[in-house]
């Protein structure tokens, strides 16, 4: 409940002094606390104290009224236990109706794809051997250039540079 939610209630005014009643009347008309303090020549703290007392009384009265109507405050422990049970029940239902059969189907399809890829690899090897005239074609990895070849192609300021050695070790 914010300060703006307050409405006039004579029973909530019962515990207030005369000054606090005047403050609350002005406050409930819509004046701001600083304006009330200057108009009634009281401290701003007195205004806030009056608003606090009125809110306390107002809340207590309405809590009693709600209890009379059968609206009891929620027991947090019971509410948490009920919520946890509802979540557990929902999870059980989800697991019962989950798509485990779909998961199994996906695994079967992946195995089929793996078999197909193996067959494609075999067919490509046969095609390559047919194209090459019966001799299997082997792919040779290209030789990496030696550091001597690289250094001969480097500019003068980079040859024998100690920082290049550091970078090569990384």
pLDDT at 4 (0 to 100): 44
pLDDT at 77: 64
pLDDT in tens, 71-130: 555 556 666 767 777 877 777 777 777 666 676 777 788 888 888 988 988 888 888 878
Other residues' Cβ atoms within 10 Å of the Cβ of residue 88: 10
- Residue 30: pLDDT over 70: yes
| pLDDT of 2 strictly over 50 | no
What pLDDT, on the 0 to 100 scale, is given for residue 1? 44
Q: Average pLDDT, whole number, for the chain?
A: 77
pLDDT at 44: 93
Q: Does the domain formed by 3-68 have CATH 1.10.287?
A: no
Number of Cβ within 10 Å of residue 6's Cβ equals: 17
The pLDDT value given to residue 169? 76
Domain ranges for the chain: 3-68
Q: How many alpha carbons lie under 13 Å from residue 65 in its C-beta half-sphere?
A: 8
Nearest to 59 by CA among 45, 73, 74, 75: 73
Cα distances (angstroms) measured from residue 2 to each of 6, 28, 52: 8, 13, 11
Taking phi over 0 as left and psi of -120 to 50 as alpha, with beta for the rest, 91 belongs to alpha
């Amino acid at each position: 409940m914010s300060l703006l939610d307050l409405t006039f209630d004579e029973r909530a005014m019962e515990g207030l002094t005369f000054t606090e009643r005047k403050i609350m009347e002005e406050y409930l008309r819509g004046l701001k606390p600083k304006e009330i303090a200057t108009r009634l020549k009281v401290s701003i703290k007195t205004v806030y104290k009056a608003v606090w007392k009125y809110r306390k009384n107002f809340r207590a009265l309405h809590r009693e009224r709600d209890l009379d109507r059968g609206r009891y405050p929620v027991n947090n422990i019971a509410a948490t236990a009920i919520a946890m049970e509802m979540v557990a029940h929902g999870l059980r239902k989800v697991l019962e109706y989950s798509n485990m059969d779909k998961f199994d189907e996906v695994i079967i399809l992946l195995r089929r794809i793996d078999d197909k890829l193996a067959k494609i690899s075999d067919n490509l090897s046969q095609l390559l051997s047919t194209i090459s005239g019966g001799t299997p074609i082997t792919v040779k990895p290209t030789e990496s250039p030696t550091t001597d070849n690289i250094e001969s192609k480097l500019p003068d300021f980079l040859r024998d540079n100690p920082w290049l050695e550091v970078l090569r070790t990384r």
